[in-house]
Structures are given as structure tokens and as C-alpha cells.
């Protein structure tokens, strides 16, 4: 078995066990209602995490996604509620703005030869600051289109509902997986994460791929921002603070190597579901406080980081035993 599959398998097993145990304790968790809400509640995180998977696979990191979600929410709300544009037009504008924004970050990372986290940090400040300059308050969105979309759902037997945004997330994952694993662009992303110098010598269009990766991440973050505005029917500049951390955690817990080059989009889906499970469990339990979510995510993160460390250190051929100093 390929060693990059092992963390993915571990995630899947942990999820299955954790879900099984939760269901044994709270049989109510085994219902289409809970599963349906799982998808809806985590849709914006999942969509963001797909973009983050590409960034991390390419050996980078994107700290700006939470801020882009917030900015997009505000932009969309302002375009619809203040300027009277149709939501679809507003969405298109938001996605284009995000594409330009992400493209510029990618360009800066490539041209200035600097670590991605510092550039996307600037992006985070810029997007948050920009959103706050537009408005500091929550801008409500009341538009028939929003009502129409929230009514758009598939009823499942057992009272569950598959919402539009839940389905949208699944679609993003499917398309993301196809792009990552079945296209030349996908192989370029892995190539960058493996070794940029080799990739460049092998003819990988490094500049174009880097720009595209960050563009993709920002566009998906903007899509997540749109989903978030559908979910909350409002735009707020401080929305989704810290979502970048949740997205990074989901990607790592999903078995993608934070150093890049190894991982699967599907793993990220399980990672997102695992994070969702933790939150749902805490809600079901009722006595546990919300801060346990953060602690559990931290612990999971730690476990997976150590697991990957062990797998990739143990079976790398020719790698010298870590020197004892």
C-alpha cells in the first residue's frame, strides 16, 4: 500500500470509530437529519478546505481564506441590499474579485520568492481591513432569491434534508478530486509540493500553477463566503474569523502532508466531517462546553502530525536516521 494512503485510512478509521461510539451513546446521532445537517452546517468550511487542500499540496499555506469569506459576505450583502443588484450578479462580481485577489497573492509568492504564509497574511489583513472599511456592521440580505435557494432541498427519509449548499459542497469536493488526481494541472500541483526546482526543470509552468492554486483557493473561499451568506442571510466583516485554522486542521487531519506533495481531496472531506462530528457530539452531550472543540481539534492535529512524521520518516529510502545531538 502506498504510504500516502495510510494517514487517509487512519482518518477514515478514526471517523468510523468515533461516529460509532457517538451513536452508541446518543442513538439520535444516527439519523438522516443529523447527517443532512452535517453537510449543511459544514458546507462553507468544506468548500474552503478544498481550496486549502490544493494550496497545501503545492507546499504552501493560505491564511487569508477566513478574511476572504468575511469580505465576500460583506461585498455580496452590500451589492444586493444597498445597490440592488441581483444576487447572481453579485456572486459573479465577488468571485471575480476573489480570483484577482488570489491571483495577485500567487503572483507575489512566485515573483518575490517569499514564504506563502507571509503573503497570505498580508492578504488576510487586506481582506479583513477592506471589509471593515466598507461597513462595520452586519448587513442583512432580504432577497427572494435567497429564500428560493434555502427552500431548495431534497427531503430524505427519516426527516433529513439535503440542502442546496450541502450538495454544492459535495459537488465542489467531486470536482476538486477530479482536478487534483486526474488532470495535468493536478499533477503540477503535486509536483510543486514535491520539489519546485525539479518541477521547473521538468517543464512545469511554476508561475502559472502557483497563481492558479492561490486563485483557486480564493475563489473557493469566496464561494464559501457566498454559502455563508446564504446560511446566515447577512454579511458581516468579522464573519468566519479563524476559519483558516479549521480548514488547515481539516486538511491535515484528512491525511495531507502539511509540507506538501502528498494527500487526497477525499481525505479533506473526511477531515471536515470529523471536525463536524466533534461539534455535533458536544451539542448532543449538552454538558460539554464549546471550548472542548478547540482542544479536541488540537489533539487530533497533534496525533496526525505525529502519525505522518512516523510514516514518512520510517519508510523514506536512504534517509539517514535522525542524528542524535
Residues 244-263 that bind another protein (CB under 8 A): 245, 248-249, 252, 258-259, 261-262
> How far apart are CB 43 and another protein at their closest, in Å?
21
Q: Which three cell numbers stand for residue 155?
A: 427531503
Using CB under 8 A as the binding rule, whether residue 142 contacts another protein is answered as: no
> How far apart are CB 324 and another protein at their closest, in Å?
5
160 contacts: CB under 8 Å, gap ≥ 6: 31, 32, 33, 34, 35, 36, 37
Closest CA to 304 of 263, 265, 266: 263
Phi/psi of residue 322, nearest 5 degrees: -50, 125
> How far apart are CB 269 and another protein at their closest, in Å?
20
Strand partners, 161: 155
In angstroms, what CA-CA distances link 242 with 45, 70, 105, 263, 297? 11, 11, 19, 23, 13
Q: Are 134 and 237 in contact (CB under 8 A)?
A: yes
Q: Are 172 and 178 in contact (CB under 8 A)?
A: no
Per CB under 8 A, which of residues 306..325 are in contact with another protein?
306, 309, 313, 315-318, 320-325
Per CB under 8 A, which of residues 3..32 are in contact with another protein?
3-4
Q: In angstroms, rounded to a whole number, what is the distance separating the alpha carbons of residues 16 and 273?
A: 11
Per CB under 8 A, which of residues 278..307 are in contact with another protein?
289-295, 297-299, 301-302, 305-306
Per CB under 8 A, which of residues 187..246 are in contact with another protein?
187-188, 190-191, 193-195, 197-199, 201-204, 237, 245
- Assign 155 to helix, strand or coil: strand
Per CB under 8 A, which of residues 39..78 are in contact with another protein?
61
Q: Which of 13, 148, 152, 184 binds another protein (CB under 8 A)?
A: 184
Nearer to another protein, 87 or 263 (CB): 263
Give how many residues touch another protein by CB under 8 A: 79
Interface stretch with another protein, choices 10-18, 161-169, 178-186, 276-284 (CB under 8 A): 178-186
Using CB under 8 A as the binding rule, whether residue 136 contacts another protein is answered as: yes
Amino acid at each position: 500500500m502506498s504510504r500516502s494512503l495510510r494517514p487517509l485510512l487512519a482518518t477514515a478509521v478514526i471517523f468510523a470509530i468515533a461516529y460509532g461510539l457517538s451513536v452508541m451513546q446518543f442513538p439520535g446521532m444516527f439519523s438522516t437529519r443529523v447527517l443532512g445537517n452535517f453537510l449543511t452546517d459544514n458546507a462553507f468550511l468544506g468548500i474552503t478546505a478544498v481550496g486549502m487542500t490544493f494550496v497545501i499540496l503545492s507546499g504552501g499555506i493560505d491564511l487569508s481564506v477566513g478574511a476572504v469569506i468575511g469580505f465576500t459576505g460583506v461585498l455580496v450583502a452590500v451589492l444586493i441590499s444597498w445597490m440592488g443588484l441581483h444576487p447572481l450578479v453579485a456572486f459573479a462580481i465577488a468571485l471575480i474579485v476573489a480570483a484577482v485577489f488570489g491571483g495577485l497573492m500567487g503572483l507575489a509568492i512566485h515573483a518575490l520568492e517569499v514564504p506563502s504564509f507571509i503573503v497570505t497574511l498580508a492578504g488576510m489583513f487586506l481582506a479583513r481591513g477592506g471589509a471593515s472599511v466598507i461597513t462595520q456592521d452586519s448587513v442583512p440580505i432580504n432577497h427572494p432569491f435567497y429564500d428560493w435557494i434555502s427552500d431548495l432541498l431534497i427531503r430524505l427519509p427519516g426527516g433529513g434534508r439535503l440542502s442546496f449548499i450541502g450538495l454544492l459542497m459535495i459537488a465542489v469536493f467531486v470536482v476538486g478530486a477530479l482536478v487534483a488526481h486526474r488532470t495535468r494541472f493536478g499533477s503540477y500541483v503535486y509536483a510543486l509540493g514535491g520539489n519546485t526546482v525539479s518541477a521547473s526543470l521538468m517543464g512545469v509552468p511554476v508561475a502559472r500553477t502557483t497563481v492558479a492554486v492561490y486563485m483557486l483557493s480564493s475563489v473557493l473561499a469566496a464561494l464559501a463566503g457566498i454559502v455563508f451568506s446564504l446560511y446566515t442571510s447577512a454579511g458581516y466583516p468579522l464573519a468566519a474569523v479563524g476559519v483558516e485554522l479549521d480548514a488547515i486542521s481539516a486538511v491535515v487531519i484528512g491525511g495531507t502532508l502539511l509540507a506538501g506533495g502528498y494527500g487526497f481531496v477525499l481525505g479533506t472531506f473526511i477531515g471536515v466531517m470529523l471536525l463536524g462530528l466533534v461539534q455535533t457530539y458536544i451539542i448532543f452531550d449538552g454538558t460539554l462546553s464549546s471550548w472542548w472543540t478547540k482542544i479536541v481539534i488540537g489533539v487530533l492535529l497533534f496525533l496526525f502530525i505525529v502519525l505522518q512524521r512516523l510514516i514518512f520518516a520510517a519508510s523514506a529510502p536512504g534517509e539517514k536516521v535522525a542524528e542524535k545531538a
